């Protein structure tokens, strides 16, 4: 059979999936990345995870038509090189050549993880049936990607979509990129948690003060803010409204630029769901021209599988199958 492998690699975990030639996910496996052991270790681990998947489906490497992989950070998908990844601590790692070599010459295609997630949602998830799909991931940061009629948009240097790194006036939090007040210091899971913690430190009343007494507030996460929201907590409601308003600003720029039919929102902070999306929608509509207001805004449907399925679909397309 013609099988495809999709790999979703993050700073914490690697997920590998085995798919049939119709891109149905047959089996997947997950392991800690162990990025501190270096690129060589991680790529050998991926090769062993792929071999294990094949063995369990009673297949061999000969059955695999291509491997696709979504990498965090900047990627050159033409040469198959991870240019730079802060999460993995990789610089100029020729992933396609190295992993292809470890797998006995199976073609390996890589791209940025947000693009692979969007490609997967466009093909099999919430973007199914739409011509122009914009994917947005809200996790430790925020980034976007665009698939128009099945083709990814890259821009110069494959750099399109770094939506999180536009500084906002009046905002001052230090961003991971070195600038201050970037959109992602607010509109991300990290941003939700940071803003809640800062307001707790200022002594604002909240059920979170009881759940995380004293220094415990340093451990408050975006998920805790959602839990507090469900208790009717005023601080949590206000934080998610504030973040939703800023998310709307970022989406207004991107929607105006790319004119998608649908925006698919995924990543860890998307678990906040309507708690975040309702204030976002309310703020968004006055920020975009009337002709854009029909854009559908949906939560991602594939969760953990979008990256794996998207990577495999990308590999299939690149392999010309
Ligand atoms: Zn930034």
Return the CATH fold of 3-120+304-318: Nucleotidyltransferase; domain 5 (3.30.420)
Distance 313 CA to ligand 1 centre (A): 30
Distance 6 CA to ligand 1 centre (A): 29
Q: What is the mean pLDDT of residues 64-86?
A: 96
Q: Where are the domains of the chain?
A: 3-120+304-318, 129-299
Distance 246 CA to ligand 1 centre (A): 14
Distance 308 CA to ligand 1 centre (A): 27
Residue 275's CB is within 10 A of a number of other CB atoms, namely 20
The answer to whether residue 321 scores a pLDDT higher than 70 is: no
pLDDT digits (tens, 9 = 90+) for 11-38: 889 999 999 999 999 999 999 999 999 9
Q: What is the mean pLDDT of residues 251-266?
A: 97
Tell me the pLDDT band of 48, cut-offs 50, 70 and 90.
Answer: very high
Tell me the pLDDT band of 269, cut-offs 50, 70 and 90.
Answer: confident
Cβ atoms of residues 237 and 279 within 8 Å:
no
pLDDT digits (tens, 9 = 90+) for 209-240: 999 998 899 999 999 999 999 999 999 999 99
Candidates 3.40.50.300, 3.40.50.1100, 3.30.420.40, 3.40.190.10; CATH matching 129-299: 3.30.420.40
CA distance 169 to 174: 13
Distance 141 CA to ligand 1 centre (A): 9
Distance 183 CA to ligand 1 centre (A): 7
Cβ atoms of residues 83 and 76 within 8 Å:
yes
Distance 216 CA to ligand 1 centre (A): 27
Distance 167 CA to ligand 1 centre (A): 7
Handedness of CA 267, 269, 271, 272 (dihedral sign): negative
Distance 204 CA to ligand 1 centre (A): 28
Distance 177 CA to ligand 1 centre (A): 4
pTM over 0.75: yes
CA distance 128 to 67: 23
């Amino acid at each position: 059979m013609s099988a495809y492998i999709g790999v979703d690699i993050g700073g914490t975990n690697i997920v590998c999936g085995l798919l049939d030639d119709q891109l149905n996910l047959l089996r997947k496996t997950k392991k800690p990345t162990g990025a501190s052991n270096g690129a060589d270790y991680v790529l050998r681990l991926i090769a062993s995870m792929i071999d294990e998947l094949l063995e369990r489906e009673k297949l061999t490497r000969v059955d695999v038509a291509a491997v696709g992989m979504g990498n965090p950070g900047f990627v050159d998908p033409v040469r198959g090189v991870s240019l730079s990844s802060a999460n993995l601590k990789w610089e100029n790692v020729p992933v396609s050549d190295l992993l292809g070599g470890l797998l006995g010459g199976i073609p390996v295609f890589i791209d940025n993880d947000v693009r692979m997630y969007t490609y997967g949602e466009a093909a099999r998830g919430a973007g199914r049936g739409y011509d122009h799909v914009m994917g947005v991931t809200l996790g430790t940061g925020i980034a976007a990607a665009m698939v128009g009629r099945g083709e990814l948009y890259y821009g110069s240097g494959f750099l399109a979509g770094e939506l999180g790194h536009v500084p906002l006036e009046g905002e001052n939090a230090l961003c991971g990129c070195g600038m201050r007040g970037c959109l992602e210091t607010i509109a991300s899971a990290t941003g939700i948690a940071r803003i809640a913690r800062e307001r707790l430190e200022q002594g604002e009343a909240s059920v979170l003060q009881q759940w995380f007494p004293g220094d415990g507030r340093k451990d408050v996460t975006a998920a805790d803010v959602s839990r507090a929201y469900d208790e009717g907590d005023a601080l949590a409601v206000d934080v998610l409204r504030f973040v939703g308003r800023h998310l709307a600003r970022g989406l207004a720029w991107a929607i105006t630029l790319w004119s998608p039919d649908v925006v698919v929102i995924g990543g860890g902070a998307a678990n906040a769901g309507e708690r975040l999306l309702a204030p976002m929608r309310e703020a968004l509509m006055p920020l975009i021209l009337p002709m854009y207001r029909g854009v559908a805004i949906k939560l991602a449907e594939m969760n953990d599988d979008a990256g794996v399925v998207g990577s495999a679909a990308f590999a299939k397309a690149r392999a010309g199958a």
